Structure 1
Amino acid sequence: MNKNITIIGTGAYGTVLANVLTDNGHNVIMYGVEQNQVNDINENHINSTFFRDYLINENIKATTDFAIAIEKAEVIILSVPTFAIEKSLDNIIKYSKRKVSIINIAKGLDEEKLDLLSNKITNKLKNKDILENYGALYGPSVAVEVILRKPTCVMACSKNIDFANQIVELFSNEYFIVKPTTDVEGCEVAASLKNVIAIASGILQGYSASDNARASLITIGNAEIYQFAKHFGAKIETFMNFATLGDLILTCSSFKSRNFSLGMSIAENNSALTALKYHKKTVEGVMSSKIAHLMMEKYKINSPLFELMYKILYNNVNPSILINNFFKYAKVV
């Protein structure tokens, strides 16, 4: 059955998911604050800010009016940076006229409470008689490859397995493959913290370290991410799925990854402080590193690699320290 779906945000990943959903016959409207992007989508059927002249499905609609965007929504997809989540939820509460299902695709954690973003979202909505279901979509999915309809595999995450399966039905087609899981905690923590490991991997690349070193880094990173995730009740078997190991491998090896690219820049400048000064794009791993550091202190989590990355990113420790030190403290499951 076709659904009325609203995507909050006209960014790169929100655009490609709009494309997937309209390819599947759903009615999709996007809400954006950039008038030029909204016009581009409506008039030219492109989002040139992110994808140059790549055509998207002509049935996608866009608006700058939040009330219009969610007027008929049955499903709302949160496709905004974590700092914009709060305002988006306030607008949903203000303008929503019915219960809706929420699917989050923002990759981050709650900086204020050092908690899961899913808890922040559901806690804010649960007493407003608005939230029907909550889920998330995570996995290795470079946006430009999805817009070109290249094969992609991701995870539909919800504590309610029936809703996880509904997400699978919404998105699945011949090029976008979706599998269900109930381990929201494991997938969410991995989606955020893998960006820190990707910066580390980029540093190794920038210093021309070996492929052996990167493979070992990814292994150690996956094990340390699990140390954080298990605090929230994640299952170890989750760390072999698309949203965890799959996304980690992609982000730690793709030159299309902003986090990997920042790591290379840090190595080239021999300083995180210098690299960040000239890096214009938002790089999620920098904030995730800070949150991970605070979590380590609060929850007594032992993660030497994350501690090392915090020192590089926030104390301006020479990044070359990574080359000879992360193996020394290697901790695997």
Structure 2
Amino acid sequence: KWHLGSNDGRLPNDQGFDEWFGIPRTTDEATWSKSPNWSTDVVPLEKIMEGQKGGKSRILRDYDWEQRRLIDREITRRAVSFMETQAKRDRPFFAYVSLTQPHLPTEPNPDFRGKTGNGDWADMLAEMDHHVGLMLDAIDRLGIGEETIVVFTSDNGPEYVKPWDGWAGPWRGQYFTHLEGGIRVPFLIRWPGKIEAGRISNEIVHGVDMFATLATLCGAKTPEDRPFDSLDQSEFLLGKSEKSAREGFPIWCADRMQAIKWRNYKLHLYQQENMFAPPMKLPVPFIINLYTDPREEKPTVDTWTVGPMLKIAAEFEASVKQSPLIPMGTPDPYRPDRSK
């Protein structure tokens, strides 16, 4: 999904991409077509779209239940075609491939239904594995493997709504919460000859760190006229350092800081069990040691960790004074004040 605005001016071709194909919002809207009370006269279906830089994006077809099953195959085909074109032209490229699986509804492509014998979830994972494999095979076939950085990760933890709820292993919680199950996701990176294969680490890397990291790895410079949350993780990923450049971060949900994470500790400022539960501000915040309590149920007496976590909060507050938060509901386009 794109999910950064679905109106003209906010679509990918308006935000720096040369071309795009996909859905502007989110996959759960495909379920509307199966709702007995839904009517396109009341709420139209989301559209599958494509666009080019400098032009207006166009609608291809409705994103209904059937298209939900088929779209990842088309996304993969187009991604491979894009890479083939760029490799033929000997041009560097950046491809953001946002597969819709395993977002709800977890409906596999008909060619994968029943393939694993373990239900739709397993079939859908097999489908996703197949599509990722096709893209990796294309990179190797085109002879650009050693020049191509591949990152495989997710935007959040598992779903809460049944029957599509997922599993976060030993961690408690789902997305839309500050619990580890909602924010901790796999992160895999491949760069043959540069990044050691098979290396495993439990160090903290944040999604926002990809901006500064990829800029460094590609020899680009980041602007110096604005603050960035992104930290350069190139030394860590290249194996030049065993430690991440990041020790912690504030955990922001909606319009509030709900927790702070530092190393293997987390300071809980709010309590929220799931996406539908109201966030309750704690009268007395408590600290969790994630090594000994991955389910975040037993406050620890390691109160000395408050120091580094309050430092993270102070740094965040200082950055907000320099660059104020964008109020929810602010019209787009938004231009930050760079006079400070």
Q: Under TM normalisation by the shorter chain, which class is it?
A: 0.3 to 0.5
Higher helix share: 1
Which TM-score applies when normalising by structure 1? 0.33
Bigger RCO (CA 8 Å, 6+ sep): 1
Structure with higher Rg: it is: 2
Which TM-score applies when normalising by structure 2? 0.32
